[in-house]
Amino acid sequence: MSIPELYAEYLVNKNLRKVITQSFPVESSEETQIPISLLSNSLGTVEDQDFLKMTLTAELIIPQTQTHTQDVKKTIPIVQEKEEFILFGAGPAKLPKEVIRTAQSELLDYAGTHQSILEISHRSAEFMALNNATIQKAKDLLNIPDNYKVLFMQGGGTGMFSAIPMNLIGKTGKADYIVTGQWSAKAAKEAQKHGKINQVYPKLDKYGKIPEQGSWKMDPEAAYVYYCANETVDGVEFQEIPETNGVPLIGDMSSNIFSRPIDVSKFGVIFGGAQKNIGPSGVTIVIIREDLMGNALSYTPTVLDFAIIAKDNSLFNTPPTFAIYAMSLVFDWIINNGGVEEMEQRAIKKSSLLYNTIDQSGEFYTNNVEKDCRSRMNVVFRIKNDEGLENDFVKEAKSFGLIGLKGHRSVGGIRASIYNAVLPEHSQRLVDFMRKFQENHQ
């Protein structure tokens, strides 16, 4: 058995006594450290020694007899086992364990096809059934009305920054944009390539608030009104749906879709990249009212034309098959865990834990977003406006089993992204660490 094989066995069951006994016939069960040289000479090659140095820095307690301990100059370190690492990254983000385990168990043979989901044809009966089932799950979870289509597209949210105006602005050549952060600003900039864009209020000095709707200046000829429901970089989230008085409303919900119930009938289009709340990167869900399709600008690429994608049930070209499969598993997980109603209650609990800790820290931690629009998905904060202290926070958090906490490169600071797969107990672990860090660095 090679060292990589031995280590793999350890990772699977952590029962090295049986593994080592098979490789080293012994009579005693006394636990001692096995020298690296002994392992490499007995089990592996020179290449294995390099692998050993890189990987066996984990905790290894290997039962062995004193007869195998003559060479004690280099030994495998023994470290206490760590708790599960929790990912607070903004996206791609944490997936439910159950989803990953199911995907793992089915990876070699999907639905008895003797093919991996990575290999199966998107034209096969099995995949078309999966595609239809995934669409139906989305409809059920959000109570999507019958006059809406659910599309699975590619290009992410950024692709939709172009697809939205190319499909919808042609009616009048004008659109209103509500800019509350970096993503809606990028969307407005992209839309300017395709028509006249009206930002409904002057550019904000800094992001962290949503001006009162009574102050917005809407264009009466706007073909649609666009907003980003949750700004991941700036930690700003709409808690209410904007009123557009009948003008089609477009919602970028890439980072909070399926985290709460929504009245889909108030929207013309809702879209979201999957890689935050509903799956891995690669697929973008689009929910569009049927009457808004069929008016794309002449130069709209075929793969971004909503009407064409809808006509072929998202199978016009090869779709991201694995991403759709994984999204279907996430939908199952949401359904089995109480639906979007329960996701909302968890989001309130998780975000409240963090914001209460920040607000009660005596300005050791600070969040500059107005309280009525603080994000439930992305909690952003600074630590005494001290970049060095924030770097220490990220490093020490990792040793506590908490990763992905560094703020967006454009704004710095700390960002805890607490999407659906991050559980309340995970937020509690972060809060416990925050309090401990403050005690040590006050």
Residues catalogued as catalytic:
183, 252, 276
Long-range contacts of 109-118, Cβ-Cβ distance < 8 Å, separation of 24 or more:
110/325, 117/321, 117/322, 117/325, 118/321, 118/322
CA distance 259 to 421: 10
User: What sign for the dihedral angle of Cα 167, 168, 171, 173?
Assistant: negative
**Residues forming a β-bridge with 412:** none
Under a CB-based contact definition with an 8 Å cutoff, are residues 415 and 408 in contact?
A: yes
User: What sign for the dihedral angle of Cα 319, 150, 131, 345?
Assistant: positive
Residues 6+ apart with CB under 8 A from 185: 179
Under a CB-based contact definition with an 8 Å cutoff, are residues 138 and 328 in contact?
A: no
CA distance 423 to 333: 13
Angle CA 260–264–266, to nearest 5: 120
Distances (CA, A) of 349 to 5, 207, 354, 409, 423: 43, 24, 9, 27, 10
Which DSSP string corresponds to 81-136? PPPPPEE--SSS----HHHHHHHHHHSSSSTTSSS-TTTS-TTSHHHHHHHHHHHH
